[in-house]
Amino acid sequence: MTYDRLVCAHCAAPVSEGRCPVCRASRERLQQQAGLFGQFSPVVLAVALIALIAVAVLLRQAV
């Protein structure tokens, strides 16, 4: 889950803005849990996967 769409229950602001201590703590925790691919949106990951499959198909046809 990406934190850019989450709303803080404490201050009702987006968590990504980090307006209150609760937002900042949640944002830090989500960033640490996200790992390597957590900072990319699902759309970017899907496009990268499609591009990788397309390259694999082209390489297979070339051989």
Please list the pLDDT of the chain residue by residue as tens digits (63 residues).
556 678 888 898 888 888 899 988 888 887 777 666 666 778 888 999 999 999 999 999 987
Residue with tokens 């201590």: 21
pLDDT value of position 15: 85
Q: What is the pLDDT of residue 28?
A: 86
- Length of the chain as a residue count: 63
**pTM of this prediction?**
0.47
